[in-house]
Structure 1
């Protein structure tokens, strides 16, 4: 007997037919849906959901009213920039620390006020270098460029620098120019940047209206050399360009306006300008408030000297990262005693907390964030402890409250020798200078606050080589700093701004009851203060001072004093990688200090690292002030004592060479290396120069040095 299969009471054939029919219907429905959606997507903005042509109005700045004149589009064409600003003179600055920028601004102001020249002041990175050829002969370009490190250009000069080294096939025969370089003769490549710039312009046919001038900061003469050059520039404008010099009264470039309607939350209380904004993003991070997690004294017998090891925690900011060899930029705070001194002599104590706006009166950029208060300005935004230039002293004389004060300021400002002698015997900053000229509370109350802020340079960060490895401790960065304290007489001393601030933080965190050894105090924390106790404002700056990518590559390190900081990180990293089983190359460290009993910093750590690395690491100390005079050695002496090992590493094994410390030490070390290599290899000076240049191009001979 036949049996009929069924599903849910229906015959199987009928069920299958229904399923097939339903499948065909579902397929057709899906295809129709896909077609409908595709049509909708294709016709969006054409047949439906047309964009509102006025929607952009919702995102316009509220202050830009209908009918307001739109800002001119930004151009990088130098000829067009001159035309836009109706200027005859373009002053282009290339600056790393801000000195060249400040001098360019001073020159621009003086040319404008005393000669009525029409001037435009430009960051050189805002100019396309190829457009220099379009500048007409009736215009003039003035270049101020600094050299830092071993002949390196400033960060904002890199595009121009590349163009200067291209083939000289562009004619600049119409370009008239003047040039001023800032450098330090302690460095081997003194004023290299301005030399290359001037030579490249000349090779392209540009005409220099006077010889290129060079400032030398080796003896602190940059300011004087700038004043001398500026006077020559003014003479050229009068004798060759037909300008007439006129005596003018003081014209402020900025204005300070009190505004009691502002609340504390509206103000800038001391957070530095975000250094990642604009052109700095490729080289440094944003500024953060970083907590201090460790600080300790490194000198064994301080004897009035201090060396600080300090670590900051990066853990609160996941985006903040560093790599071994980078720098930490620390933003210092002015000491309370100098803030009070300046506020007192200016008669501004009652006004110190009043909210105010700082506005430009001539269109020049204002370096102080606004709105703010005088407390924040004098504590965080200007360097009130900076020396006062002779030119600024002359400006102050016009506002002296007494004839005696005016005579004193005129005497030291009009005579270079008198000013130099005054600096040799006195710690001079603006507050102290005003007190010396005319002492008493509010004695200088008639001095325009605008002139005070124009005289004081904007606060700048101080950079320290990071002395920890990012491989070993990625979320904590360490720095190593000797506290600067320069005696200038039996009773006067000039304290380093940043290092004494760090010392105060160290003392407050480790021994709260102990005062700063030099009596300096800082007002942290205060209401609305952006920094909590035991925090600093800092940012990371990238460096090319890096370990080889291949861990087995040998390295030779030479450092004196705190110049050993990055090498602590290097050796830490090598020891860590060896512990992980990596094959690490030979590392040889030459370290110089005064005395093993006083300032052999990180001695115990290096001993421990040596035990971990075994034959892969050797430390060669050099003591410049040992107990026995016959044991006196500098790092360059120790290099000369071991020529075979040095040559074997640098020449035979193609090791990386790193030098960190003062420029003078780096020059002596480079000379010592050259001597031992030339002697062993039988090379001429030309052979050695070719070898050194090749190693530097390949980033195998690197220096991290300071003046």
Structure 2
């Protein structure tokens, strides 16, 4: 019996042994294959598939500045950068719109020109924050930073900001520094960034050599405050650092060299620099030429005010996307009348289309693309409509064609009050200033062109809250813009640069075409022009101003004027979700305008969405200029009147709270909400602040405001 059983299992044992042997062979084969693949992957580019060292030339941009690749690969060690450039001072700028960067560049120029200081100008994001500890005490760091939004650092400051607030063990006892901030006192957290940066530097042991300077743009005095602080810096270098001040004549930092050999294809004709450099960051897209597919006037029965609704098509650019709540950056161009004025008074009409290289003479980055033409510079790349600083007026006075012109310019450049009075008396830009000082074609032909380019700021985009939902219309983006003109008198006005450009685009696309109400025209279609008629250069900038991830979460929105733009998108999106059967939370909107007959924008659309959302949507309108006996109210008044509902939403339902509009309005709304919450919850000011700070950290209290 046992023999029979043994005989019956023998074949099974043999089969199992064969399977085990085969498995070992398979394992060895697999191991060998993995090993070979690993060796092959590790030797890619060394033993095989060696890269072509010249392949990058296939993608090289002919407009790329020489040495840009080398600059991109330079060290981020601040001490090494100072040593490599034989510099005594590092000027580190943190800027959102470019103002701090421009002022940092001017400071570097002034230090070199008047004191012989070797100053190294640096984007603060190009520096490893920890290496500040290695800077010797014989050197000096100057930090120039802007505050935007509600106390937010600029995008290029984030790495340095995080390091300062979390590198608790690092000592900066050897670092000497100066600090200057740009802000707006209409905002609750005026110049918070530079104050916090200086506090953290001090906490790490750094030593400041003079009090922190602050510029306040609330009254348009950023330039004056910078000039005052700059003089204090120059005096410090003389009194404490042993430098001797010298009076010097103008020395150009640029060369403009004409080159007739260049073809139109070689030139920059107006494409914004961000796009020509292929620049795209984690916070913004590249710049694209987008067709205007729809425009309409939103104000009713007004002859002196315009509000534009404009929609741009993204369909030609599959990679360009936006999300509800993002911003759109519009790159404006200068009006033709101002371009012609400047060319005429400088005597440059015959050279306007001449191809030219713009080169730096002091190794600083050039703020405009090169090569290009004067037409492109004055239309697209320089803000020729910007006011001229007193500092620039003083330089221009040295080239005045007559004694009377020199006396006039010298007077307003040396006296702050005289300059302010002149600015307040009329619309002043460089072309108009030169005409006022000395009229006549080519009257200022002796004024160096490099000085003109140095004086004018580089063109910057203007940002608008997107007023459409990416869920509802993913390939079409909408913006809402009031034409922003500043009235100086009954007959004199300063036209808003970007909004009048948008108005001209709206008029040009109308059928039949309409005339611009102020007679402004723009070169919307000329030879080699990068824009077709009814196209605009624009890019998307990401924002944290977002709807809750869950649609059933309640929200409270407060906006005045065009501050309602992102809330149009929010309500549009929630109305669609509701029609799809989704559960939508309470959606409460407070909207401020003058009166419903004139500027209650999007009234018909909100009425339609009210019918779709039903009881989940409520809208309260505050009228600042009502008709008849109706009481004047602002949005903060409406919040106080509806205190019970607002408190219930914010406390009981933990609703998201949004404010969009002017900084002054936002401050009033925040104070009103704080007042009613403290009263109803019995909170102290400390408890109220803790609540608001917690909500902001959790992204449940968000503001999108401007000065």
After TM superposition, the score normalised by the length of structure 1 is: 0.92
Q: Could you tell me which residue of structure 2 aligns to residue 352 of structure 1?
A: 352
Would you say the 8 A contact 1:558–1:589 is kept in 2? yes
Alignment partner, residue 206 of structure 1: 206
User: Residues of 2 paired with 1:490 and 1:295: CA distance?
Assistant: 29
State the partner residue of 2:379.
379
Residue 504 in structure 1 maps to residue 504 in structure 2: yes
Contact in 1 for aligned 2:279/2:286 (Cα 8 Å): no
Q: 1:629-644 counterparts in 2 under 5 A?
A: 630-644=630-644
- Counterpart position of 2:53: 56
Cα shift at 1:491: 2.4
Alpha-carbon contact 2:94-2:146 (below 8 Å) kept: yes
1:414 is aligned to 414
Structure 1 residues 40 and 609 mapped into 2: Cα distance closer, same or farther (>3 Å)?
closer
Q: Which runs of 5+ in 1 are unaligned?
A: 1-30
Q: Measure how far apart 1:164 and its partner are.
A: 1.7
Deviation at 1:157, TM superposition (A): 0.1
Match of 1:584 in 2: 584
Cα distance in 2 for residues equivalent to 1:584 and 1:53 = 57
- SS of the residue corresponding to residue 247 of structure 2 reads coil
Tell me the CA shift for residue 80 of structure 1.
0.7
- Contact kept in structure 2, 1:292 and 1:534, CA below 8 Å: yes
- Could you say which residue in structure 2 is the equivalent of 1:6? none
Separation in 1, partners of 2:429, 2:70? 41
**Conserved in 1, the CA contact under 8 Å of 2:95 and 2:154?**
yes
Q: Tell me if structure 1 keeps the 8 A contact 2:278–2:286.
A: no
Alignment of 1:287-326 (within 5 A): 287-326=287-326
Q: How does 1:26-65 map to 2 (within 5 A)?
A: 56=53
Give the deviation of 1:37 after TM superposition: 14
- Alpha-carbon distance in structure 2 between the residues aligned to 1:681 and 1:276: 55
Partner Cα distance (2:170, 2:48) in 1: 48
Give the Cα–Cα distance (whole angstroms) in 1 for the partners of residues 482 and 314 of structure 2.
23
Identify the range of structure 1 (673-682 vs 628-637) with the bigger mean alpha-carbon deviation.
628-637
Residues 43 and 558 of structure 1, relative CA distance in 2, 3 Å threshold: closer
Name whichever of 97-106 and 203-212 sits farther off: 203-212
Alpha-carbon distance in structure 2 between the residues aligned to 1:370 and 1:440? 30
1:153-173 Cα distance to aligned partner (Å, 9 max, x none): 000000011012115321111
Unaligned runs of 5+ in 2: 1-27
SS of 1:567's partner is: helix
Q: Tell me if structure 2 keeps the 8 A contact 1:275–1:285.
A: no
Three-state SS of the structure 2 residue aligned to 1:180 is strand
Residue 108 of structure 2 is matched in structure 1 by 108
Structure 2 match to 1:185 = 185
Shift of residue 542 of structure 1?
A: 0.3
Point out the more displaced range, 34-43 or 587-596.
Answer: 34-43
Q: Which residue in 2 is equivalent to 1:473? A: 473
- Distance change in 2, residues 1:476/1:403 (3 Å): same
The answer as to whether partners of 1:272 and 1:381 remain within 8 angstroms in 2 is: yes
Conserved? CA contact 2:280–2:286, under 8 Å: no
Is the contact made by 2:184 and 2:191 (CA closer than 8 Å) also made in structure 1?
Answer: yes
Which moved further from structure 2: 247-256 or 234-243? 247-256
Does structure 1 residue 531 correspond to structure 2 residue 540? no
Structure 1 residues 50 and 676: alpha-carbon distance in aligned structure 2, compared to 1, 3 A threshold:
closer
Check the 8 A contact 2:275/2:288 in 1, yes or no.
no
Please state how far the C-alpha of 1:487 moved relative to its aligned partner: 1.1
CA–CA distance in 1 between the matches of 2:645 and 2:393? 56
Q: Is 1:672 paired with 2:687? A: no
- Asked if the contact 1:276–1:285 (Cα under 8 Å) also holds between the matched residues in 2, the reply is no
Structure 1's 36 and 467: CA in aligned 2 closer, same or farther, altered over 3 A?
closer
Q: Given the two structures, how large is their TM-score scaled by the length of structure 2?
A: 0.92
1:44 and 1:549 map into 2 onto residues whose CA distance is 42
- Secondary structure of 1:469's counterpart equals coil
- Distance in structure 1 (CA, Å) of the matches to 2:94 and 2:638: 39
For the 8 Å contact 1:275–1:284, the answer to whether it is kept is no
Q: Residues of 2 paired with 1:383 and 1:58: CA distance?
A: 38
Q: Counterpart of 1:274 in 2: which secondary structure? A: helix
Cα displacement string for residues 74-98 of structure 1 (whole angstroms, at most 9, x for unaligned residues): 1111111101111110000000000
Structure 1 residue 57: deviation in Å? 5.8
For 1:476 and 1:513, the matched residues in 2 are separated by 23
CA distance in 2, matches of 1:58, 1:657: 52
Q: Distance in 1 between matches of 2:581 and 2:185?
A: 46
Match of 1:8 in 2: none
Q: Distance in 2 between matches of 1:169 and 1:35?
A: 49
1:589 and 1:45 map into 2 onto residues whose CA distance is 59
Q: Could you say which residue in structure 2 is the equivalent of 1:128?
A: 128
Q: How many positions carry a matched residue from both structures? A: 672
| Cα contact 1:301–1:599 (8 A) shared by 2 | no
Alignment partner, residue 285 of structure 1: 285
Distance of 2:415 and 2:495 partners within structure 1? 26
Q: 1:591 to 1:43 in 2, by over 3 A?
A: closer
How far the C-alpha of 1:368 sits from its partner, in A, is 1.2
- Tell me the residue number matched to 1:368: 368
State the 1:71 CA deviation: 4.9
The aligned counterpart of 2:92 is 92
Match of 1:80 in 2: 80
SS in 1 for 2:443: coil
TM superposition shift of 1:215? 0.5
**Structure 2 Cα separation of the partners of residues 37 and 395 of structure 1:** 71
Residue 322 of structure 1 contacts residue 540 of structure 1 at CA under 8 Å; is this kept in 2?
A: yes
Cα-to-partner distance string for 1:458-512 (whole Å, 9 max, x where unaligned)? 0000000000000000000000000011111232110000000000110111144
Q: 1:328-339 maps to which residues of 2 (within 5 A)?
A: 328-339=328-339
Is the 8 Å Cα contact of residues 168 and 200 (structure 1) preserved in structure 2?
A: no
Supply the distance in 2 between the matched residues of 1:522 and 1:214 (Cα, whole angstroms): 37
Q: Determine the C-alpha separation between the residues in 2 that align with 1:460 and 1:36.
A: 57
Tell me the CA shift for residue 335 of structure 1: 0.2
Query: Judging changes above 3 Å, is the alpha-carbon distance between structure 1 residues 577 and 276 closer, same or farther for their aligned structure 2 residues?
Result: farther
Residue 498 (structure 2) pairs with residue 494 (structure 1):
no
Change (3 A) 1:42 1:202: closer
Q: RMSD across aligned C-alpha pairs, in angstroms? A: 2.5
SS, match of residue 659 in structure 1? strand
Distance 1:156 1:534 in 2: 33
